[in-house]
Structures are given as C-alpha cells and as structure tokens.
Structure 1
Amino acid sequence: MLSVAVAGASGYAGGELLRLLLGHPELEIGAVCAASQAGSLLGTVHPHLTPLAGRRLEPTDPELLARHDVVYLALPHGASAELADALPESTLVVDCGADFRLDDADAWRAFYGSEHAGTWPYGLPELPLGGLDQPRQREALRTTRRVAVPGCYPTATTLALAPGFAAGLLEGDDVVVVAASGTSGAGKGLKPHLLGAEAMGAMSPYGVGGSHRHTPEIEQNLSRARGAAMGEGAGVTVSFTPTLAPMPRGILATCTARVRPGTTAAQVRDAWERCYADEPFVHVLPEGQWPRTSDVLGSNQVHVQVVLDERVGRVVAVAAEDNLTKGTAGAAVQCTNLALGLPEGLGLPTAGVAP
C-alpha cells in the first residue's frame, strides 16, 4: 500500500478525492490537511465520508505531506506552486489547481494576474496528439512525478471536440462553446450568488466575453489536437461562455466548430467513434441519444454525442461529465494510476448513480 495525503481536504474536490481513495485497493489515506478548517473533525466537514469521520484535519505542513508517497493538492489557483516546491522530487504530486496547466506564461499572466509557476505534464490521458491512431497524452503521464490535473470545463470541451481536430475535419478559427456547470464548480466558499435562494430555479452566465480563466486551457488542448493533424502552429481560438445551473454537480458542454469543405456526416461520426473506441472513460453515445449530467453523476465517465449540421457546415458536439469526478478528483486518481504503473482505471467508478 502506498500512502497518500490530501491538502485542501475540506473542499469539494478534496472530499471527492477522499471518497474515491477510500475505494482504491493500492492507496492508503494518510494526512488530511486544510487551512481554515484545520482542527475540525472530517466528519463535520464531509458527513458522507463515514469511514473517515473521526479523522482530524491537520494544518497544511510541507514536512507532514512529504512523508507520503503521493500528495494531492486541492487548493485555489496560485496556492500550489510554493507548496509543491517544498516537496521531494521523488514524491508524486498531483495538482488539482490551475498553477501548472498552461504552457504559455503570457496567457497565465493575462488570465490569472500573477507570475507563471511552470508547466507539468497535463493530466488528460485521452487527449489525441499525433492523429487518431497515434499515442496520446497518457504516455507523458507514465512514471512522471508531477501532474497538472485539467480544469473541469476544459475536460468536457476538449473531449467533445478533440476528435474532429485530430482527424483534420474542423477549422480552428470559429469555435464556440457554451457550458453549464453545477454550483460545486465554484468551490465551497460562501458566495451570495450561490445561496439557495439565488441559484435555485435560475440559470445565469458568467465570465462572458472571453474572460473565463479556462479559455486558454481549452485553446491549448484543441491546438495540440489540431497541430497533430494540421502541422505546427495550427492554433485554435475559442469563444467560451460558462453558465451556472441550479444543480450541485455536473457539466454539460455544447460545442460547435466549422467543418472543412467536403466533410461528411459519416466522416464526423467515424472520427469520434475511432478516437474513443478504446477509451474506458469516454463513451460516444448511439446516434440520436444525447448526454445528460444525471447519467454520469458520481462516475469517471464522459458521455459524448456529435452531429453534423449540414445546413451551416458545423459540428455540434455535446459532452456531459461530473465536474468533481472526471472533471477533477477522478482525473487525479486516473493520472496517479498511470504514474505509479497501476491499471489506469483502478479504484474509479465507470457507472453513474440514477435516478
């Protein structure tokens, strides 16, 4: 058994990590750490984690974390870099925050307003990089000791559109994404717009006009997929509008892009099915069946559907995920398995909870 520690254990992502780790046969939960909640019993913060209810949250101490084989950082953006620097190179550090996701330091400064901490291997194993039949991002995750877990929105939108770019079917200059997320995506901090009286029965946009911080990450991922098929420098630009939905968890991303002249519906369908034929956590639904957030609740699955709108020459690709599982904690465990040489799906749920 390998020991794991979770920093930021009192938050939603930290709680989801602990839920999944409780079912992992090769990982043993060690220190559970927090900042303002340090000293509290875990059961008062996460009552659903009954087996850990008697654990006490400890202060986030690098020396304590360093005693473990694996350390998960479930912290706000900008908080991971300093802590990661204090951990041994031999420790597997999996960052669920944004600090190490971007390649472009200028993009980081523009969207996050601070200095770029660097770039770690990106934790989206299914991302196609060299065409549909070539090795994928998972190869960079094998045996690494540093992992940058993707953002929840980029996971859904990337997996929705990447097959078309990898197959060379999509244009890169007119990509539009509108995605709805449950309130847990905003974290556990108290915010007036997330109060029940404000969020229930309402949907509202935010980060409108290209300002959402996940925008450069989405563009980076789709550019990587398109670059594999179209040549270096074939960047993708995305108009991304997130919306807040009155549900606790889940993301539904509706993504559209122009197809290259002559692209047929059969080519589109074939590209998506080929891309994910052997992926255990990405499921292309039968034609005519559309993703629903309720169908992936609590699972590490992403459900995807795609259709060609021939009248306007655009694909419409829709993806549903649980933002806390495949969108964050599930991806972290999936990448941990790869880095440790374990079966990729070990300890991860493939079925959702219904109704």
Structure 2
Amino acid sequence: MIKVGILGATGYAGIEVVRLLTAHPEAEIVRVVSQSFVGQKISDVYQNLKGICDLCCTALDVDDIAGSCDLVFTALPHGASKTVIPSLYEKGLKIVDLSGDFRYNDPVVYEKWYGEPHSAPEVLKESVYGLCEIHRDEIKTHRLIGNPGCYTTCSIMGLAPLAAAKIVDTKNLIIDAKSGVTGAGRSASLPNIFCEVNESLKAYKVATHRHTSEIEQELSILSGEDIVLSFTPHLVPMQRGIFATCYANLTKKMTTGEVLDIYKEFYKSEEFVRIYDEGSLPEIKHVAGSNYVGIGVVVDPRLNRAVVVSCIDNLIKGAAGQAVQNMNLICGIDEGTGLRAAGMYL
C-alpha cells in the first residue's frame, strides 16, 4: 500500500484527490493537512465522506509527513508550494504538486508570469511536467511532478498532434477556452459568487492568463520551435468542465479525415483520450466526473483551418485525476488504477 498525505486537502482539487483515493486499491490516505480546519474531521467539512474517510485534519508538520507518508499531494495555493516542497523533497518523499510552482523548465518564465522569483530553482530543476500522455517516460523516473493546470491540459492535448506533426502555422494559434467556476478554487471571491456568475458569460485575464505560458512551453517542445499564441479564458455558469476551441491554420491542404488520422495515430495507445469520429464533437457532459479527454476536429476548407474541440473535467483530468495518474506512474503501478470510472452525464 502507498501511504499518502494530502496537503491542502479541503480545497476543491485536494478534496477530489481524497475522494478518488478512498476508492484506490493500492493507496491509503494517512494524513490530510488543512490549516483552516485543524482538528476537524474531513468528513465534517465534506459530509459526503462520512464513514468513508473520517481522518482529522492536521497542521503541516514536515517531519510527521516524512515519517508517515511515501507520497504527498500538495494542493496548496500558487506560491505556497515552493516554500514547502524543498523540505519534503529533501526527505526523500515522492511529490505530486497541483500548484503552478513546479511546472516550468525555466525559472525566468515562472518569474515573468507569476511576478516573483522562484525561491527554489534548484528543486525546480528536479521536477518534470506531469502531462502523462506527453511525458510518461520522464514521469516514471522522477520524484517531483508539476501537475499541469486544467486549461493547459485541455489545450495542450487538443493541439499536441498538430504541433508534433508540424502541419500548422505556429505563428497564428488561437485558443478560446471556457471553465466551470470550480476552476477558481473554494475561497470566497465576489466575481465567482452565484449571482455574479449565473446567467452570464465573461472573459477574464485576456492575454495575461498564466496558463498561456504552460501551453507555449509544451507546444514549443513538441513543435521544435518557440511558440507564442493567443489564449482567452472565459467563466461560464457551470460547476465542472473545461471546453477549449482551438484554431490552427494548416500549412497544406488537408481534409477532416486526414487530420483525424493524425490524432488517432498520436493518441492510439492512450486509454484516457477519446478521439471523436468525423461529424461528431465532444461535450462537457461526456467527460464531467471522469479522467477522460474528448477531442474532435473539423477542417474548414474555405480557410484551410483546423478547428479542434477539446473537453475535460477541470477537477479530475485537469487536477486530481491527473495527479493520481501521476502517482500511479511514479509508484510503478497500472496507470489507470482508480481512474476508470465513466463520467457523470447528468
């Protein structure tokens, strides 16, 4: 059994890690850390866990975590992880970090997008970007995984086959993405309360969203050239889901069927990726509550442009599910363990 601790267990991503691991046959939750609910049972904070996980929330104690856990998930706010993880890493723990602190290959890029220097650049060098379908072999050999963001997972996976095949104009990539409100986390915030979100749709952080940098990093690696793209996120009145519509101008005449063949070949061995047949496109309902990615493609022959639709559940494949997938990889067990449930259509 893998003995697991979850830091930041009472946030939306953290509690999804808890929920998934309660049904995982090879993991045992031994610590749930939450500064806001110290001394309270996690099943009192989230009563859906009553009788399933009744552990008490504790304050962070690095020595206790190191002495009791084999692996930790750090579902802490951006900026907090980089102050905590060096001590955990030094003690030999396996770590899957759900914040943005260990997702970058270059600390200068982190500083540019997060507005502060990275306080642990040497530890950052030891991390690997945890997009399992792209970096599986690297993940297996590392102890520190920077679990990707939700927008990034959806967008990168939507465009990865085109970037790798080098058949698109990389100077004119556009991603129009929508997120459910849980993507903003559990903390109270006026723009995210019910009356502000319901019956509305809004763009935010236009041309400045941090996830842009992750998407550019990974697509640049796949294409072999530096990519700068346009990414616009939107908030929609739903709880779960990321829906990204990606636009890429093709560099040669191709049909929808030909582009879909590239996608099917690229993802042919990927259990959690569903490539939709021509004439069909994914919807949030098809993936909500699951670790699956839905991808569909249409080529607009008038513009010779590929329009790619990519969908995930932001809390599962975009956070907790992918984190568990990473845990499975770095612990040497079947990658899909605990993650094969179908989504919640209703």
Q: TM-score range by the shorter chain?
A: over 0.9
Match of 1:347 among 327, 333, 338: 338
In structure 2, the residue matched to 1:222 is 219
Distance 1:341 1:89 in 2: 20
In structure 2, the residue matched to 1:130 is none
Query: Could you tell me how far 1:317 is from its partner in structure 2?
Result: 0.6
Residues 38-59 of structure 1: CA deviation (Å, up to 9, x unaligned)? 2222123222223345321100
Structure 2: segments with no counterpart, 5+ residues: none
In structure 1, the residue matched to 2:297 is 306
SS at match of 1:100: coil
Residues 18-39 of structure 1: CA deviation (Å, up to 9, x unaligned)? 0110111111001100112222
The number of equivalent residue pairs is 339
For 1:95-114, what aligned pairs fall within 5 Å after superposition?
95-114=97-116
Report the residue type matching 2:57 in the other structure: L
Matched, 1:168 2:166: yes
Asked if structure 1 preserves the Cα contact closer than 8 Å seen for 2:12 and 2:186, the reply is yes
SS at match of 1:306: strand
Matched, 1:149 2:140: no
Matched, 1:123 2:130: yes
Report the residue type matching 1:346 in the other structure: T
Q: How high is the TM-score relative to the length of structure 2?
A: 0.95
Asked if structure 2 preserves the Cα contact closer than 8 Å seen for 1:281 and 1:350, the reply is no
| Greater CA drift, 319-328 or 104-113 | 104-113
In structure 2, the residue matched to 1:319 is 310
Match of 1:282 among 249, 273, 290: 273
SS at match of 1:48: helix
Residues 289-311 of structure 1: CA deviation (Å, up to 9, x unaligned)? 21111111111000000111121
In structure 1, the residue matched to 2:62 is 62
Distance 1:259 1:61 in 2: 53
Query: Could you tell me how far 1:89 is from its partner in structure 2?
Result: 4.8
Distance 2:91 2:296 in 1: 41
Query: Could you tell me how far 1:346 is from its partner in structure 2?
Result: 0.7
Q: Which structure shows the bigger proportion of residues in helix conformation? A: 2
Distance 1:31 1:100 in 2: 22
Report the residue type matching 2:218 in the other structure: N
Percent of paired sites with the same residue = 40
In structure 2, the residue matched to 1:24 is 24
For 1:193-342, what aligned pairs fall within 5 Å after superposition?
193-208=191-206, 210-227=207-224, 234-342=225-333
Distance 2:102 2:47 in 1: 31
Asked if structure 2 preserves the Cα contact closer than 8 Å seen for 1:44 and 1:53, the reply is no
Cα distance change, pair 317–36 in 1 and its aligned pair in 2 (3 A): same
| Greater CA drift, 257-266 or 69-78 | 257-266
Residues 134-161 of structure 1: CA deviation (Å, up to 9, x unaligned)? xxx1000113211110010000000001
SS at match of 1:51: coil
Residues 266-301 of structure 1: CA deviation (Å, up to 9, x unaligned)? 431111111111100111012212111111111100
Report the residue type matching 2:233 in the other structure: P
Report the residue type matching 2:45 in the other structure: V
Asked if structure 2 preserves the Cα contact closer than 8 Å seen for 1:143 and 1:340, the reply is no
Asked if structure 2 preserves the Cα contact closer than 8 Å seen for 1:89 and 1:145, the reply is no
Q: Which stretches of structure 1, 4 residues or more, deviate above 4 A after TM superposition?
A: none
